[in-house]
Amino acid sequence: MQFDLDDERAQLKQATRELLEGESPLAESRALMEQSAEGFSKALYAQLAELGYLGLLLPEDAGGAGVGHVGLAAVLEEMGRVAFPGPFLDQILAIETLRRCPGDEARRWLERALGGDVLVVLARAETLSLDEPAQPETRLADARIVGRKRWVPFGAQADALLVTTDQGLALVPRPDSGWNATPLETIDLAQRFAEIPLAAPGSALLGPAATDAALAEVDRTGALAAAALLLGVMERSLELTRDYTVERQAFGAPIASFQALQHRMADMLIQTEGTRAAVYRAAWATDAEDADAARLVAVAKAQAGDASRFVCGETIQLHGGVGYTWEYDPHIYYKRAKTLEQFYGSTRDALEQLLEASGI
């Protein structure tokens, strides 16, 4: 029984931390989020592709890193720590989807996506509230996709969309006229969503049943990945809080010496470390193809959502006045946590999956 990362994954985690702290410290990320058109650094994404980060989940014999979900979680924990902006996770999920699609076209897009040459993302949601009808209203007929997708992550910048339709999954390359995307700007600047009306040529990749099966697996990776990002978000939030409260003086003592604040930070630690245990256990179970994996991923996502709500909120609170300024960083993590809690399977969805997987 071993809980620690093995050497390979520990090194990957350390290397990722150094890479991100060097290339994408939070100040840099904030500048990208606030000022750039894309919201992320294309150059750094190319570097990540080059270094093989997009193939973390692919087996080595398929040209991937073969570090599995444990390795992916370790990388995403680090990305969470710096509130890394951009479509990294969305790319991973598109790649995971393409891997499950037969046929040459899927293979071609997969290779180009893995190489970082194109940005492919999933386009699934159709309502504003994410309360989705059982079947997409987007239609595929005569090799044309007609409908409207919402909450498409970095949809405006995508080279192709993987679109769920009434006939299953289809691929829509960006039309020459562009996407005609409307931004859906939320409070989280690290993530850009778009609403995209579709009336464009596209090709079927999977039938409805195969789509459901493939996306169920991809969704599991998505939920786990979001939980790992949230772990990093919380971890760093707690560090900021600790550092600030140790530094800041009031009534003649560091405010970290006040018991009410100490107990709050203890609770923040409990939530963060509880999430760590749940995330890595779920990642391991997924890689080990444990029968409990689906349950444990649902646990990790639900735990990470509830925990980050508390930890990131209290980070603002314990920073006092500066906690609600734009200048200080607590709000960046708070806002990230809101996206990651609601998307990639909301807490409610995760809890329902947990019950289903438990036969309840």
- Positions 10 through 69 that interact with other proteins (CB under 8 A): none
**Neighbouring residues of 219: CB distance < 8 A, sequence distance ≥ 6:** 344, 345
* Interface map 202-241 toward a copy of itself (x if CB under 8 A): ----------------------------------------
* Interface map 209-248 toward other proteins (x if CB under 8 A): ---------------------------------x--xx--
The interface partner of residue 321, options being other proteins, a copy of itself, none and the CB cut-off 5 to 8 Å by kind, is other proteins
**Size of residue set near a copy of itself by CB under 8 A:** 5
The interface partner of residue 342, options being other proteins, a copy of itself, none and the CB cut-off 5 to 8 Å by kind, is other proteins
Instruction: Give, as one character, the DSSP assignment of residue 202.
Output: -
Residue 3 to residue 5: CA distance in whole angstroms: 7
CB 341 within 8 A of CB 227: no
Contact region with other proteins (CB under 8 A), list: 25-33, 54-62, 226-234, 314-322: 314-322
165 backbone dihedrals φ, ψ, rounded to 5°: -135, 175
Residue 260 interacts with a copy of itself (CB under 8 A): yes or no = yes
Within residues 129-148, the interface with other proteins by CB under 8 A covers: 129-131
The residue among 117, 210, 123, 109 whose CA lies nearest residue 161 is: 123
Helix axes of 293-318 and 330-342: crossing angle, nearest 10 degrees: 150
CB 220 within 8 A of CB 289: no
The interface partner of residue 291, options being a copy of itself, other proteins, none and the CB cut-off 5 to 8 Å by kind, is none
Among 119, 299, 337, 340, binds other proteins (CB under 8 A): 299
Contact region with other proteins (CB under 8 A), list: 12-20, 36-44, 103-111, 299-307: 299-307
Instruction: Give, as one character, the DSSP assignment of residue 117.
Output: S
Among 19, 51, 184, 210, binds other proteins (CB under 8 A): 184
Contact region with a copy of itself (CB under 8 A), list: 167-175, 248-256, 258-266, 283-291: 258-266
The interface partner of residue 14, options being a copy of itself, other proteins, none and the CB cut-off 5 to 8 Å by kind, is none
By beta-carbon proximity to a copy of itself, the closer residue of 47 and 317 is 317
Within residues 68-127, the interface with a copy of itself by CB under 8 A covers: none
Residue 185 interacts with other proteins (CB under 8 A): yes or no = yes
Token digits of residue 62: 């398929």
The enclosing H or E element of 194 equals: strand 193-201
Among 15, 46, 128, 141, binds other proteins (CB under 8 A): 128
Contact region with other proteins (CB under 8 A), list: 58-66, 154-162, 219-227, 322-330: 322-330
Residue 123 to residue 94: CA distance in whole angstroms: 10
- Which CB contacts under 8 angstroms, 24+ apart, belong to 279-284? 279/73, 279/77, 279/224, 279/227, 279/228, 279/231, 279/304, 280/3, 280/70, 280/73, 282/69, 282/224, 282/227, 283/68, 283/69, 283/70, 283/72, 283/73, 283/224, 283/228, 284/69, 284/70
Coil, helix or strand at residue 73 = helix
Residue 258 interacts with a copy of itself (CB under 8 A): yes or no = yes
Within residues 251-270, the interface with other proteins by CB under 8 A covers: 251, 253-254, 256-263, 265-267, 269-270
Among 259, 289, 291, 360, binds a copy of itself (CB under 8 A): 259
What type of residue is 292? D
CB 75 within 8 A of CB 38: no
Q: Contact positions toward a copy of itself, by CB under 8 A?
A: 258-260, 262-263
